[in-house]
Structure 1
């Protein structure tokens, strides 16, 4: 069983990081398992955008990034990525999804004091955006979906009939389990106990914005997460 499913090749997203030194243009690279970004000569990697860890020694620069236990913090990361959408009057198309992630400052509890992401989906008829910052990509995408015009659907793992989260919780992005290789069994999942019994048969983990040929629109009340 693969533990990570996703893109056949790395995706490169134009990105801007804003911190105490101002704005820095960069690229956020996503291979479906890891995110990579270079900020003023410092290379960061992580399985989630809110946990980008410095790789190697810090670069010799007068504008060092702020770190908390080796992770990037005290900044805003903005990037754009393509997602699949279905429009009532234009069929299926790719649309830019702009994300703005605010990473807070180090806090006494050995974490950072805040994480908040907002989203904007750029459609031919205009921009649809989330109503408030959210702490998880799941919540931000669900918020965004509620704002979509009638007949418009987001075709991504977050809205797929065969994806779910572990009852113990999930991370900011990428800890969504895919059950595309046992569709019929997953369709019968009606709660936590059923999902636990099926968990080890998952195909792997996916990022919420990913789309694959097995996508099927999720219906309300499906699986553990509903």
Structure 2
């Protein structure tokens, strides 16, 4: 399964129209002829810099991060922003009708704090906007989870998000998560997950894998308040 989204990339050198391919494991985009890929927006990297000239790469800012238990460094794109539009399915709670609505995703990645590897970036801001029946619902956080939480709280009496974020079996690790795509799926043990009452019971479960918040499979079930670890 693969989807392609149109969007805008912006950095200190200007703005470019882009497309982002998503197979729901990896994001791939080409900016000024340079191909980037990663599991989420803040770890987009060039697979092989030797394929490109120094002039092609000069517009980009790269954060160097040590790769765990190796002597190598990962160089990821930062000091830039992305705006893309992703269609999402919405459920009208009044009649259970389903319809599509465009989710506007805005990602702002700050500059690296220093040239020291592992210094991190100054900020990461995720803004999600969903317009339904002429009204726009917006959430802003460092994570997709937090931004979706804000939208959920605004639409909870009227609409339900039909995606992995809004699914009964989507949850997060007790050890934390990335900004996007680190959601755990427990569709492989629905009964056990639905019966969780505390953190220890939750930690004893083994998820089927990671999913993106914006994905949705045919085993989707509407999330119940207070379920699992995230509630």
Q: Same fold (TM over 0.5)?
A: yes
Contact kept? 2:34, 2:56, Cα under 8 Å: no
Separation in structure 1 between the aligned mates of residue 95 and residue 226 of structure 2, nearest angstrom:
27
Contact kept? 1:75, 1:104, Cα under 8 Å: yes
Contact kept? 1:118, 1:129, Cα under 8 Å: no
Question: Where do residues 1-226 of structure 1 align in structure 2 (5 Å cutoff)?
Answer: 9-57=1-49, 58-59=52-53, 60-61=55-56, 64-69=59-64, 70-87=75-92, 88=94, 91-108=97-114, 110-123=119-132, 125-131=133-139, 133-148=140-155, 150-199=157-206, 202-226=207-231
Aligned twin of 2:67:
none
Count residues with an aligned counterpart.
214
Relative contact order (alpha carbons < 8 A, sep ≥ 6): 1 or 2 greater? 1
Aligned twin of 1:3:
none
Aligned twin of 1:6:
none
Deviates more, 1:50-59 or 1:166-175: 50-59
Separation in structure 1 between the aligned mates of residue 223 and residue 95 of structure 2, nearest angstrom:
21
CA 1:26–1:141 in 2, change beyond 3 Å: closer, same or farther? same
Runs (4+) of structure 1 exceeding 6 A deviation are none
TM-score computed with the length of structure 2 as normaliser: 0.87
Aligned residues: CA RMSD:
1.7
1:66-113 CA distance string (max 9 Å, x none):
221221111110001111101236810121101010000010361001
CA 1:188–1:102 in 2, change beyond 3 Å: closer, same or farther? same
Q: Which runs of 5+ in 1 are unaligned?
A: 1-8
1:128-180 CA distance string (max 9 Å, x none):
2325x310011111111122273211111112111111100111111111111
Q: Which runs of 5+ in 2 are unaligned?
A: 65-74
SS in 1 for 2:90: strand
